[in-house]
Chain A
Amino acid sequence: MNWLTEHKIPLGDTMETFVNWLIDVASFFFDFISVTLETLIFSMVDGLEWMNPFAVVACVLALVWWLHRSLGIMIFVAASFMLIMNLGYWQETLQTLVLVITATTISVLVGVPIGIAAAHRPMLYTVLRPVLDLMQTIPTFVYLIPTLILFGLGYVPGLISTIIFAIAAPIRLTYLGISKVPNELREAGLAFGCTKAKLLYKVELPAAMPSIMAGVTQCIMLSLSMVVIAALVGADGLGKPVIRALNTVNISQGFEAGVAIVLVAIMLDRICKTPSSKAEG
């Protein structure tokens, strides 16, 4: 048995060397990303906190009305926000919302084009699939460590970890949507003189839209599920009170923060989901 344990394969050491090398070579690059994203998030959070809470709620309600015309969802959203304010988690909720929205926006902006590219190049998807699987199955804590080193404490490592975890959804569902576009629609597009670009914008993307929207909704939910983990590396938000409650074995604080997270999750789900399923029907 000795021969097996005598010479350990330096898997972990290699990774460490790689991360150290990254810091040496490109620390200015990571600093730049870090500062940019942090400024962006801080200014959004500050802006929302500066506003009257009821004005923020009114804006969200207007959005709900515009998307759904449903009184039920509006009442639920208003009641949830009021309960959160009552519990004293308004500021944390805003921070969490900003984190989720930023992570989703970046994931969609990067993920949808990758999904389109993968759908058009079968080889690319063959390469991409194991990478996506890896990103979603590797325990989040594992890549929390290098992101922490590369981007420092705060929102940004939390945001990057969230994106790594959540970006697979828009990539996969965009890929699925585009590759499932009926061949006849594509042929019809070509037969009536589409260029490659027009085929994408006028035929493939609209046809894949229900699937892409489902990817966005999933991405939002996955981002939200990362809130507590992001708090571990210093991202503000609803995760912080949960971690604090865990460390101090504080049942009441943990429960309240947990309820707030659940309410945010249900609200986001209700707000996002219906339009896409309407488009499918």
Chain B
Amino acid sequence: MPMVQIENLDIVFGNQKLESLRLLDKGMSRSEILARTGDVVGVQDATISVEEGEICVLMGLSGSGKSTLLRAVNGLNKVARGRCLVKDGERMVDMAKCDENTLRHMRTNRVSMVFQSFALMPWMTVLENVAFGLEMQGMGKKEREERANKQLKMVGLYDWRDKKPDELSGGMRQRVGLARAFVMDSDILLMDEPFSALDPLIRSQLQDELIELQKRLKKTIIFVSHDLDEALKIGSKIAIMESARIIQEDVPEQIVLNPATEYVEKFVAHTNPLNVLRGTALMTPLDQVAQLDDLYRVSEHLSLNIQAGVLKEALSHGQNIALSKWDDSMDIENMPENTIVVAPVDISMRDAVEIRYQTKQPIVLQDNGQCVGVLGDHQFYHALLGKHFSRAS
């Protein structure tokens, strides 16, 4: 069962929703409807589901409807049509239709939110801000301050608990915002461009912190961003929105490798491939490598002896060189020079380039114990020049 399931969701702002929906069904565009009824179509026919533990990034430029869609999940935006199901224990609650009490129950127990401009109460101390949601739950003062203090320690702001938000830097304020959301212990976190208002260094630091926290806490996160690099870094799934519609929804690598429209293609054109691409997409499959006397000739000087999918020996300038294995858990920095490394096929490009840098040799990729391809300088240059990031021609 997914944690959040959005089905054919439309959101319209204005006074003539029924008429606008009718025009929408007739296939009219956003601007035509604005001219006819004065209504703004926020989200049109959005369908997406988010599984437990996933970080789903809603990506798009401002005005594309990503924040609007996010706000439907905790009922801050009224849904004009469609369903927005959120898991509550063993049942799914439709946030579009539930009554006030259910809505409040969902907000206090299931869904928490982090805001772009932090939205901390300026008259409250940091501690009171973090405890705000717990207070709304009706928790006693002593218990909620205890839990808020614990959360503040986790984000490293315990010493600042008695300060007011305006005495804190931007990065610290958003840590308070994160603590306020995490302390609720809800399964679902909504993050509305939480790091956009921060400077780049702090932003990437907080992104790393979020990834670390997520490894431990395994929340379901819906994250809104206009920054593709951020989306690729933290997202386990990305949905790209353009003028109120979701135009592509996929895992990060597929978004950059197979952009669905020209719009997405433009978006991904300047992505740093080191963060996204994996061996699967980069490698030259074994069956495309030139063969000579049962040896695979990777380059003029390097031949590989692969039998029944297993690397037996590697010859460089006619000399046998060492073989070695690598996986995620291992260090790269201490790899010996002149070694052929066998690595998992889903190795990230960053790791692969680093292994190549240490060993000064190409890498052999394997899948389920079977060698499937090789990864060398040519493949890296190809990726760095952005040649992967175009629509299949």
Contacts and interface: CB of A to CB of B under 8 A. Distances in A.
Contacts of B112: 191-192
Interface string B110-123: 01110111011111
B115 A187 contact: yes
B119 A188 contact: yes
Interface stretch (A34-42, A68-76, A201-209): A201-209
A206 B123 contact: yes
A265 B122 CA distance: 32
B218 to A, nearest CB: 22
A184 B117 contact: yes
B136 A193 contact: yes
Contact of B136 (A182, A184, A198, A207): A198
Q: Tell me the interface secondary structure of chain A in the complex.
A: helix
Interface-centre pick from A184, A188, A203, A206 (highest chain B CB count, 10 A)? A188
Interface string B134-169: 011100000000000000000000000000000000
B184 interface: yes
Contacts of A182: 119
A192 B139 CA distance: 13
A209 B122 CA distance: 12
Nearest to A185: B119
Contacts of A192: 107-108, 112-113, 132-133, 136, 180, 184
Interface string A167-207: 00000000000000010110110111111001000110011
Interface string B156-198: 0000000000000000000000001000100000100000000
Contact of B113 (A185, A191, A195): A191
Interface residues of B, number: 25
B191 to A, nearest CB: 12
A26 B116 CA distance: 57
Interface string B74-118: 101000000000000000000000000000100110011101110
Given A185-B121, A203-B121, A209-B123, A193 B115 contact: no
A191 B121 contact: no
Interface in A233-271: none
Contacts of A184: 115-117, 119
Contact of B123 (A187, A188, A195, A207): A207
Given A184-B115, A184-B117, A198-B136, A191 B123 contact: no
B137 A193 contact: yes
Interface in A214-236: none
Contact of A188 (B113, B135, B184): B113
B68 to A, nearest CB: 12
Contact of A193 (B71, B117, B133): B133
Interface in B341-360: none
A214 to B, nearest CB: 16
A106 to B, nearest CB: 27
Contact of A191 (B107, B122, B135): B107
Interface of B: 71, 74, 76, 104, 107-108, 111-113, 115-117, 119-123, 132-133, 135-137, 180, 184, 190
6 contacts: A187-B71, A187-B76, A187-B119, A188-B132, A191-B112, A193-B107
Interface of A: 182, 184-185, 187-188, 190-195, 198, 202-203, 206-207, 209
Across the A-B interface, the 8 shortest Cβ-Cβ residue pairs: A193-B108, A192-B133, A188-B119, A184-B119, A191-B113, A193-B136, A193-B107, A206-B123
